[in-house]
Amino acid sequence: MTDLVGFLTARWDEDEAMARAAIEKSAGVGVYGEQDRTGRWRATTDGIYADTPYSNGPFAVGTYEHLDKEVGAYIAAYDPSRVLADIAAKRRMLAELVPMIETLEEIDELASNAVLPAEYCGAIGRDRSASTRLLRLLAAPYAEHPGFDPAWRTDD
């Protein structure tokens, strides 16, 4: 499990660094040097803009022939602020899952050593399996990454 946690943490660190770099590169600068680094973007018919009063032009440009309206809307919807919020939520989920899985592993060991009554074994195994599956599902978007362990794949 520690390998999977390390893998997820590293991927999220990379995603976060890319989002922060995009904020820096796309932030609009005002007349007096003010800069907004919220990471929110908006799409218009002529490009993608940092959604800030300081924006001095689009950072991704295209007309309807080059930047389709739906593509522009999609790019803007998945702006760095959304990516950062998504990563923060996943980090919180991981912080909840890891101690739960560790506790279930300890209880499972006690159950297998007959320290706990047999009726607990099935429920503990199901809970542990579900928790581990959730952890693996968090890794699913990175299945093509060279560091992804095929053993982390889920059945679907």
> Could you read off the pLDDT of 113-155 as tens digits, one per residue?
666 665 666 666 667 778 888 999 999 999 999 999 999 998 7
Number of other residues whose CB lies within 10 A of the CB of residue 101: 19
- The pLDDT-based confidence of 73 (bands split at 50, 70, 90) is confident
Q: Is the pLDDT of residue 107 over 90?
A: no
Question: What's the distance, CA 4 to chain centroid?
Answer: 14
C-alpha distances out from residue 123 to 29, 82, 98, 104, 136, Å: 57, 37, 18, 10, 20
* Total domains, the chain: 1
Strands (E), 11-84: 41-44, 47-50, 60-61
How high is the pLDDT of residue 45? 72
How high is the pLDDT of residue 32? 47
How high is the pLDDT of residue 61? 59
How high is the pLDDT of residue 55? 61
Give the range of the structural domain holding residue 117, as residue numbers without chain letter.
Answer: 2-152
The helix/strand/coil state of 33 is coil
| pTM listed for this prediction | 0.78
Where does residue 117 rank: exposed (0-12), middle (13-18), buried (19+ CB within 10 A)? exposed
> Could you read off the pLDDT of 37-67 as tens digits, one per residue?
677 777 777 777 777 666 656 666 555 456 6
